[in-house]
Amino acid sequence: MDLEPPPPYLAFDIEIATIIPDSARNWNAYRPFGVSCAATLTSDRQLTIWHGKTPGGGIADLMSREELVTLVAFLSDASRDGLKILTWNGLGFDFDVLAEESGLSSECKALALDHIDMMFHFFCLQGHALGLDLAAKGMGLPGKPPGMSGDLAPKYWKAGRRQEVLAYVAQDVRTTLDLATRVDQQGRLRWNSKTGRLQEILLNQGWLTVREALRLPEPDTSWMRDPWRRSKFTGWTERIP
């Protein structure tokens, strides 16, 4: 029997404005982060860049609460219209930040649990995290632009290099969407381990939503010194009714 085709996707990513020191071990100590910009990209390649606007129409330092409420409404409408929201680590980061910054905690919790977080699905299977760049390159995709990263984005934003950050967040959603599509086509995810070995897992049933991934059995992590728990990613949702 042929598998049903995956639903149309809406890839989503945000960038924060707060510069987190490289030595920081607890990012939560630097909250609230502020949202500098975001991007969404549909399966039919409709790209939308989101950022705050000054009274004169320029790019603001931060997205306002009202602008972030509009973004949450856009994501909620897209989900109701049948698009499957897609992220890489959106459960543990993007939707957590968006919930705090927009004030729409319950709405963001629902979006987070019902969307596809590819990294969280991977984590539930393997017991460890994986970077988007490694996953993309393992699947033969370009990955992140050289010389740019999520850690650098707030520094570039503060330095006035905002078009570079907007280009970066746009590339992140392209990479997220292209990765999901390629894995759907091939039924597997490949990545290079830290030792340089090519690894793969089968995903021939497609990507799971966060709710579905949470029902997977816990993998064996006895070989790890200090394994992460799923609550590292879900903890903020458990504090919201």
Summarize pLDDT for 218-228 with one digit per residue, the tens: 999 988 899 99
Specify the residue for token string 């394994």: 227
Domains and CATH numbers, the chain: 9-238 (3.30.420)
Measured between alpha carbons, how far is 113 from 182 in angstroms, rounded to an integer?
A: 23
pLDDT in tens, 76-100: 999 999 999 999 999 999 999 999 9
Supply the pLDDT for residue 109.
98
> How far apart are alpha carbons 126 and 124 in whole angstroms?
6
pLDDT digits (tens, 9 = 90+) for 19-65: 998 888 888 889 999 999 999 999 999 999 999 999 999 999 999 99
Digit-coded pLDDT (tens) for 115-169: 999 999 999 999 999 999 999 999 999 988 887 888 899 999 999 999 999 999 9
Determine the pLDDT at residue 1: 39
Dihedral of the alpha carbons of 66, 68, 69, 70, in degrees to the nearest 10: 90
pTM above 0.85, yes or no: yes
For residue 59, the 8-state DSSP code is: B
Distance between CA atoms of residues 177 and 132, nearest Å: 11
Q: Are the beta carbons of 207 and 180 closer than 8 angstroms?
A: yes
Closest CA to 206 of 89, 111, 116, 140: 116
CB 165 within 8 A of CB 15: yes
Angle subtended at Cα 130 by Cα 145 and Cα 136, rounded to the nearest 5 degrees: 40
Given a cut of 90, whether residue 112 has pLDDT beyond it is yes
The pLDDT value given to residue 3? 55
Q: Tell whether the model's pLDDT for residue 2 goes beyond 70.
A: no
Name the phi and psi angles at 112, rounded to 5: -65, -45
| CA distances (Å), origin 28, targets 5, 96, 226 | 39, 11, 20
Q: What value does the mean pLDDT of the chain take?
A: 94
Determine whether 34 is exposed, middle or buried from the number of CB atoms within 10 Å of its CB (0-12, 13-18, 19+).
middle
